[in-house]
Structure 1
C-alpha cells in the first residue's frame, strides 16, 4: 500500500497531469494528496476531469484563491475515508481499513509560505496532536527546512543551486508500530521543482500479473507524415480478411501496425522516459553534495 503527496505547482499544465497519471499507475496509492493545484472554484470541472483521468473519482477539493494555493485529497471508491476537517492549509481525515489494521488518521498539510505567519499553521498541527487518539500520519509541504534528503531545488543561470528539504512525512509511534515497514520514496520530476513523496508500507499490492498492456494511441504519431499511410495500409489489410467482423479486423490490424511502426521508428518511448527520469534522479542525488545547505 502507499500514499502519494506532491506540491505539483499547478494542474493546469497537461505535463503535470501526465506525470501524476504515470506515477499513480506505477505506485497504485490508496490516497493522493496534492498541493498548489491552482484551480479556483469556478474551474472545478477541470479538477473532476483530472480525477477521472487518474481513476480517483472520490475526494475533497479545496479551491485555490485565484492562482495561489489549492489542495486536493483524492481516493478511489473502494477506499473508505471520513473527512474530519479542512482549510487552505490542511485536509484532515480518518482512513477506515476493512482488515485487522483498523482506522488511522491522515493529515495532508501545506505550511504557510509567509515565514511571519508560519507559526499559525504549526499551531493547527499542535491542536490536532493534543486531541488525537488514532495512529496518525501527516504528510505534505511544511515550508520548513530540515537537514535531510532534499525534496526541493532551484537552479540559477550562474550555475548556483539551492537544495532544501520542505516536503516530508511524519507519523506518531502508534502509526509506526502499525506499519512498521513503512518507507518514503522521493520521485523526481522535471515538471515541478518539488519531488513527489510516495510513502509505501505493507505488501506490494501492485498488479504484476502478465496481462496484456493496454494499447494507447500516441499524439506524437500524428506529427509524422508517414502515420496516415501506416493506418490506411493496415485498414486495407483488415478489410481483406475473410473471417471475423470487419471493424474488429481493421482495428486489430491498425493497432498491431502502429505498435510495430512505433517500435521501429521511435523505440520504446515509455522506457526511454523512465530511464531519463532515473538518470535525472541520480544526478540530483549527486548534486546534493554540492548544493547549498540553507
Structure 2
C-alpha cells in the first residue's frame, strides 16, 4: 500500500502524462496527490482513466497556474473532508476494521508574501481529535538552511514560521531516502539553485500506526520537482537471498543524459 506525491508542473504535455503513467505502473500507488496540474477537471478525469484509477477529486487551475488533484483506487475508502486551490483533506480507511487516518495534500503558496496563509491553513487542518495524520506535498519552503544549495540564504524569519507551524501541528519528517533535494531551477553556474521543498510529514499517531513507512525521493523526470513515493510497509519487504535486486526505472530513459551515464558506467565496469 503506497502513496505518490508529485508537483508535475503541468499535465498538458503528453510526455509528462507518460511519465506519470509509468510511475503509477511501477509503484502501484493506491493514492496519488498532484500539484500544479495546470488543467481543468475534465482533462484530469481523462488522465484518471489513463492511469486506471477509480476516483478523482480535481481543483481547476487558474489559467496556466495551479491546479491540484487527488486520485485513489477503490481498495482504499477515501472520504473528502475539504478542498481548495491549496489543499485536499481526506479520511482514509484501508481495510474494514482498520483505524482510519487523515491524509492532507498541501500546496504552499508560491508567493512568499502570502505563504503565511498556507501555514494558517495547515494549522486549521490539524485533526481536532487524536488521529493518525499524514501531510505531504510541495510546501515551497525549507526547514533548514542546509536544505538549500546555491543562491542567497533564506531569511531566518521565513524558515522559522514554517518550523513553528510544523511543531504546533505535531508533525515530523518521515524517514526518507534518495535525492537530497526535491527541486532545482535548471539554471547554470552561479544561478543554479536546489532546495528540498517537497516532503511528507506525519504525526506520532500515524508514525506509530505505520512504523515501517519510508518516503523515497525519486529522480526528477520531466518536471523540476522530484516525486515522493511513500511506502507504508517498505521495510517489511523480504529480501532476495543474494541481496537486493537492482531494478531499472523505465522513466529514466526520458532523461537526455541517461544514455551517456549508462555508457560511461558500463565502460568502467
State the TM-score bracket (shorter-chain normalisation). 0.7 to 0.9
Q: Which runs of structure 2 are paired with 1:138-177 in the superposition (5 Å)?
A: 138-146=135-143, 147-148=146-147, 149-158=180-189, 160-177=191-208
The residue aligned with 2:10 is 10
Residues 1-294 of structure 1 correspond to what in structure 2 (within 5 A)?
1-40=1-40, 44-99=41-96, 101-129=98-126, 131-146=128-143, 147-148=146-147, 149-158=180-189, 160-202=191-233, 274=252
Structure 1 segments (4+ residues) deviating >3 Å: 157-160, 203-206, 270-277
CA displacement at 1:134 relative to structure 2 = 1.3
2:163 match = none
- For residues 163 and 81 of structure 1, do their structure 2 counterparts lie closer, same or farther at Cα, with a shift above 3 Å needed? same
Q: Distance in 2 between matches of 1:102 and 1:128?
A: 19
Deviation at 1:275, TM superposition (A): 6.6
Q: Which 5+ residue runs of structure 2 have no aligned equivalent?
A: 148-179, 238-247, 262-269
TM-score (norm 1): 0.67
Gaps of 5+ in 1: 207-269, 284-294
The 3 A distance-change label for structure 1 pair 10 and 177 is same
3-state secondary structure, aligned to 2:126: helix
Q: Per-residue deviation at 1:11? A: 0.4
User: Which protein has greater RCO, CA pairs closer than 8 Å, 6+ apart?
Assistant: 2
Contact 2:21/2:50 (<8 A) preserved: yes
User: 1:84 Cα deviation (Å)?
Assistant: 0.4
Larger Rg: 1
* Superposition deviation, residue 24 in structure 1: 0.7
**As a proportion of its length, which structure holds more helix?**
1
Over the residues paired in the alignment, what is the CA RMSD in angstroms? 2.4
The CA distance in 2 between the partners of 1:129 and 1:273, in whole Å, is: 35
User: How far is 1:47 from its partner?
Assistant: 1.4
